[in-house]
Structure 1
Amino acid sequence: MAPPQISPSILSADFARLAEDVERIADSADWVHVDVMDNHFVPNLTLGLPVVEALLRHSALPLDCHLMIEDPDRWAPAYAEAGAGSVTIHAEAAKAPIRTLRAIRAAGARAALGINPATPVEPYEDLLGEIDMLLLMTVEPGFGGQRFLDVVLPKVRRARQLIKDRDLPVWLQVDGGVSEETIERCAEAGADVFVAGSAVYGADDPGEAVRKLRGQAEGAASR
């Protein structure tokens, strides 16, 4: 497992002040998590490529772009080409995942595969060699501020075992309801990258919130 990393989701930030809100976590976070939603794959509409391109000009942190969209095979490579550090496509939406994941890597970004809560991880075991990160949703995708789904924790453990069995340097990310109350359970189950939205941007000091979450994850991972 890699040392714990925190990727605050700007879905919970102030969209009118994104550059400022990203700056508030610049000294403590590892990534900026950007939720791209198209109101088709998920029932919400958020940010797209133009906003990502603008953020890249203002963020010292790498962007972790999570594409919750239809037809990621068409759109994902452009996010990598724009300069995103990591691009996640969803297994449920991709029709040619291997080709798309390789295109993301070829464009210079880390390639990641996302899986919804009800989607089993085992059918995608053979794709682990094609990815740099596996994202397990711990809420139903589409909205921030949802309650963490403990039912996903056994899947996190299974995913970590699959990665370990293949001796792959694949990060395991969890996204949804990650907070001071849930991050230790996620780390104990084997996650090493944590997306936190409300827990960071709902705090008076987002940077300090990130530091606290990292400390909890490090403590749980070392147990």
Structure 2
Amino acid sequence: MTGREIDGHRVAVVGASGALGSRIARTLADRGAAVLLVGRDEDRLREVLAGAPVVVGDLGDATTGDRLVAAAQEHLGGLDGLVNAAGVAAFGSLLETPDEVIEEVFTTNVIGPAFLLRRVLPLLQESRGYVVNLSAVLAERPMAGMGAYSASKAALTALDRALRSELRRSGVDVLDVRPPHTETGLADRPVHGQAPRLPTGLDPDEVAARVVRAITDGEADLGSEAFGTAG
């Protein structure tokens, strides 16, 4: 991945109302980026960055990507980067996990991002920009009782690695981020089941700062070991 200066970049942050997404958006803005905020909760989005343009939508809705592209062109004049920090978690054995929960986990964590990227990549090819997808340590080390979630994150990481090769000639960089457990509150609001007892997670401020540093330093991959703990 090419090292990049953030100042002057036009970046869309998906999942910008969440603990990590909001912190990444603010960090990018503090570094001089113009940020487009994307998420499901308009009120929470508008609290992240005063005056920033907002797109309200769900990743499972393919038209969210169309509206993101339109908003980026209207408000930012294009796009240099896309950061996807959206996601949902589910707990429980596969046998105990309803079909609709498995579908929701994969729609939000894999299918939705793929829908989104198909629509946004032409803008990023124009600017020779970058994609950052927030996967998880479970893509590296799947966990019993989190089979659907682990599999969805492994699929997202596989998609990133394939895209990295596909997009090399067009100059679009793809960064896959797999942080250990982080105190985002995601485990407290799963779409199914109850989280097992987890160790104290990483500070989301530190994780957000590390992600932005990876962009500026041109890192091609950010595995769990890059965060200083096995998690």
TM-score range, shorter chain: 0.3 to 0.5
Larger radius of gyration: 2
- TM (norm. structure 1) is 0.40
- TM (norm. structure 2) is 0.39
Greater percentage in strand: 1
Greater percentage in helix: 2
